[in-house]
Amino acid sequence: MPDNYDYADASQWRGTTILTVRKNGKVVVIGDGQVSAGNTVMKATARKVRRIVGGSVIIGFAGATADAFALMERLESKLEQFPTQLARACVELAKDWRTDKYLRQLQAMMIVADKKETYVLTGNGDVVEPDVGRDGGAITAIGSGGNYALAAARALDSYEDDAETLARKAMQIAADICVFTNENFIIETLEEDA
């Protein structure tokens, strides 16, 4: 490591690819396990995809881990305030994240999904719902390998009907290209109500 390396500088921490595929009644959130500081792998088995609210919501995060956990706890409290209203809970969190002096410093992004909706949340106050494709599904990704995973998933979308298989294949492609993404995938899946 260079002598001037600053472990506290979140811009030097890299690693994470989070991909969400919503297709044919299933939503899949998949993430890799690599955490890097500069060009050094600090951990290969981090768990960046988790279930919250008794398992009914899946969250995947990229960025500073402690910051992501703080935001995850805040989101969970918003979901307690607004149960079954994922969009409102996400908007309320984004408003706090954007306006609160402490929260504004947090360096993370999140993908949040339940059986019906998917959102990307950022510290800029963004709550973005991904575009719905021709088949009614949606694909979105964040993190250092996010664009690779997103491009691969979109390319495979017409050829792969199973959301989990599609997500695994796309993440494998991202891991093969992005040096900040590894093959230690964590996958969480929800089935939409019939």
User: Among all residues, which ones are annotated catalytic?
Assistant: 16
Structure tokens at 160: 């792969």
Q: How far is C-alpha 77 from the chain's CA centre?
A: 19
In sequence order, which residues have a C-beta less than 8 Å from that of residue 180 and are 6 or more positions away? 14, 15, 16, 17, 34, 36, 144, 145
Strands 17-23 and 13-14: unpaired
Angle at 153 between CA 148 and CA 158, to 5 degrees: 145
Strands, DSSP E only, in the chain?
A: 13-14, 17-23, 26-31, 35-37, 40-43, 49-52, 57-63, 108-113, 118-122, 127-128, 138-143, 186-191
- What is the distance between the alpha carbons of residues 17 and 12, in angstroms, rounded to a whole number? 16
- What is the distance between the alpha carbons of residues 132 and 33, in angstroms, rounded to a whole number? 28
